């Protein structure tokens, strides 16, 4: 009987006795801070050139160049800094849309956050890697980026992973778990491990107002609470078992 080790002591703080995640190995620093409630979410733009059918971003943000910090819409750097300070955050997760659609904005914000809150202030960035090249990566690292998370969607994403590993940042693969796509996830994890990536984050496939119709049209079933897709969790746990059984030395977090 196989049993995953669950860090319930940390996860239970977030929502009663519910287990919110499973992992093998270590967690990226960004995740550790999130679990402790010490990260702010910086949504830098709703723009994105890729149309993933499972994208959960709300219609009020999708494809619109808006900025939110902790779900509060802002218009300038001062508002961002104020919210981060009031939240007592020790870092931000920079997301979108696709943040690299507004790379100048991202670089400037990382610089400002580091200058105001210090070098220990942790910044991580989510991207599909399509617009990531050596020039962009140099700018991000020089600005002070600590961690980059690649949503693997294409060969360009795989290439981006390799580029990131040449720099002094933590590199993480972060993908949603599509039910029954065990082989697809194995391919991603094997590639990540092969090139030297240390961390993989697998997210339960989320249901939202935007992606509901697309998911149903593809035959996916929605959970009773309407928040996730049935089978996503089971697929993730199967992948975790495979990682353990195969002896791949990579940290995987669901």
**Residue 186 above 70 pLDDT?**
yes
Which residues fall within 8 angstroms of residue 208, CB to CB, at 6 or more apart? 56, 57, 58
Please report which confidence band the pLDDT of residue 32 belongs to, taking 50, 70 and 90 as the band edges.
Answer: very high
Q: What is the pLDDT of residue 19?
A: 65
Other CB atoms within 10 A of residue 15 CB: 9
If one compares 23 and 251, the residue with the highest pLDDT of the two is: 251
d(CA 227, CA 223): 6
**Residue 16 above 60 pLDDT?**
no
This prediction's pTM:
0.90
Q: What is the pLDDT of residues 53-98, one digit of tens each?
A: 999 999 999 999 999 999 999 989 999 999 999 999 999 999 999 9
Average of pLDDT values for 165-171? 97
User: In 3D, which of 58, 61, 31, 24 has the Cα closest to residue 46?
Assistant: 61
Please report which confidence band the pLDDT of residue 18 belongs to, taking 50, 70 and 90 as the band edges.
Answer: low
Q: What is the pLDDT of residues 125-151, one digit of tens each?
A: 999 999 999 999 999 999 999 999 999
CB 47 within 8 A of CB 64: yes
DSSP 168: S
Least confident of 21-25, 63-67, 105-109: 21-25
CB 157 within 8 A of CB 129: yes
DSSP 147: E
Take residue 246 and report the two structure tokens written for it.
Answer: 């195969």
d(CA 128, CA 149): 8
Q: What is the pLDDT of residue 4?
A: 42
Per the DSSP assignment, residues forming a β-bridge with 200 are 173, 252
Say what percent of the chain tops pLDDT 70: 92
Count CA atoms within 13 Å of residue 230 on its CB side. 10
Average of pLDDT values for 29-40? 93
d(CA 19, CA 12): 6
Q: What is the pLDDT of residue 24?
A: 87
Task: Please name the helix (run of DSSP H) or strand (run of DSSP E) that holds residue 111, with its range, or none.
Answer: helix 103-117
Other CB atoms within 10 A of residue 235 CB: 22
| Mean of the per-residue pLDDT values of the chain | 91
Average of pLDDT values for 26-34? 92
d(CA 219, CA 134): 40
**Residue 14 above 60 pLDDT?**
no
Q: State the chain's maximal CA–CA distance in angstroms.
A: 54
Please report which confidence band the pLDDT of residue 20 belongs to, taking 50, 70 and 90 as the band edges.
Answer: low
**Residue 13 above 60 pLDDT?**
no
CB 188 within 8 A of CB 152: yes
Spatial strand order in the sheet of 72-74: 23-24, 251-253, 199-204, 170-177, 147-150, 122-127, 91-96, 39-45, 67-69, 72-74
Q: What is the pLDDT of residue 25?
A: 87
């Amino acid at each position: 009987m196989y049993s995953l080790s669950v860090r319930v002591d940390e996860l239970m703080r977030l929502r009663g006795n519910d287990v919110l995640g499973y992992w093998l190995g270590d967690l990226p620093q960004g995740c550790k801070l999130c679990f402790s409630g010490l990260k702010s979410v910086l949504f830098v733009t709703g723009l994105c050139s890729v149309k993933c059918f499972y994208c959960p971003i709300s219609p009020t943000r999708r494809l619109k160049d808006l900025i939110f910090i902790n779900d509060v819409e802002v218009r300038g750097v001062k508002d961002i800094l104020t919210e981060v300070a009031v939240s007592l955050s020790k870092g931000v997760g920079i997301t979108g849309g696709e943040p690299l659609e507004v790379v100048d904005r991202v670089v400037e914000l990382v610089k400002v956050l580091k200058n105001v809150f210090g070098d220990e202030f942790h910044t991580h960035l989510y991207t599909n890697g399509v617009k990531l090249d050596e020039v962009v990566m140099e700018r991000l690292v020089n600005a002070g980026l600590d961690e980059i998370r690649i949503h693997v969607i294409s060969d360009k994403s795989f290439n981006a992973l390799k580029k990131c590993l040449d720099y002094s940042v933590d590199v993480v693969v972060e993908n949603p778990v599509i039910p029954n796509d065990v082989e697809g996830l194995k391919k991603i994890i094997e590639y990540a491990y092969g090139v030297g990536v240390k961390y993989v984050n697998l997210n339960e496939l989320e249901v939202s107002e935007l992606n509901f119709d697309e998911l149903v049209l593809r035959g996916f079933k929605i959970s009773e609470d309407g928040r996730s897709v049935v089978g996503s969790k089971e697929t993730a746990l199967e992948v975790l078992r495979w990682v353990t059984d195969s002896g791949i030395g990579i940290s995987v977090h669901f």
